[in-house]
């Protein structure tokens, strides 16, 4: 039991787990912002252009006597737009992060030694071998 708790503690304290937890929390908040952007800013003008339609109210009602089935395709459309905006935003963020990561990884290369330097190194190595 102690071994399991120790392993769990090591797992939970690792930087990656904490980073992931922060990312999930920020992702949830970001999702709400994008949903508000779609619902409150993007879709109303589109609905206005389509004849003053509120996408939330778009549905297809199927009636077969008593049971009524309502397919809310307007909400589905809004969720698709939400997803596309979130996916595009994440794509842009990842692209920027990769660009910054590549800049960090670029290290100046050491210049190749000249032929003279190579010959001097070989002579040094030969002299070391003779001493041993």
Provide the pLDDT for residue 131. Answer: 84
- Within a 10 A sphere around the Cβ of 78, how many other Cβ atoms? 19
Task: List CB contacts of 107: < 8 A, sequence separation 6 or more.
Answer: none
Centre a 10 Å sphere on the Cβ of residue 76 and count the other Cβ atoms it contains.
Answer: 13
CA 81, 84, 85 angle in degrees (round to 5)?
Answer: 85
**What pLDDT, on a 0 to 100 scale, did the predictor assign at position 105?**
66
Q: Residue-wise pLDDT tens for the chain (132 aa)?
A: 888 888 887 777 776 777 777 888 888 888 888 888 888 888 888 888 878 777 777 888 887 777 778 888 888 888 888 888 888 887 888 888 888 877 766 666 777 888 888 889 999 999 888 887
**What are the chain's domains?**
2-108 (1.10.1200.120)
């Amino acid at each position: 039991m102690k071994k399991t708790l120790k392993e769990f503690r090591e797992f939970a304290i690792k930087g990656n787990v904490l980073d992931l937890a922060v990312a999930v929390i920020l992702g949830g908040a970001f999702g709400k912002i994008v949903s508000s952007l779609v619902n409150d800013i993007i879709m109303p003008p589109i609905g206005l252009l389509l004849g003053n339609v509120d996408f939330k109210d778009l549905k297809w009602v199927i009636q077969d006597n008593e049971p009524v089935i309502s397919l809310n395709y307007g909400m589905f459309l809004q969720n698709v737009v939400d997803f596309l905006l979130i996916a595009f935003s994440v794509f842009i963020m990842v692209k920027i992060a990769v660009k910054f990561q590549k800049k960090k990884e670029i290290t100046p290369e050491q210049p190749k030694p000249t032929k003279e330097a190579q010959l001097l190194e070989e002579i040094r190595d030969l002299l070391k071998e003779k001493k041993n």
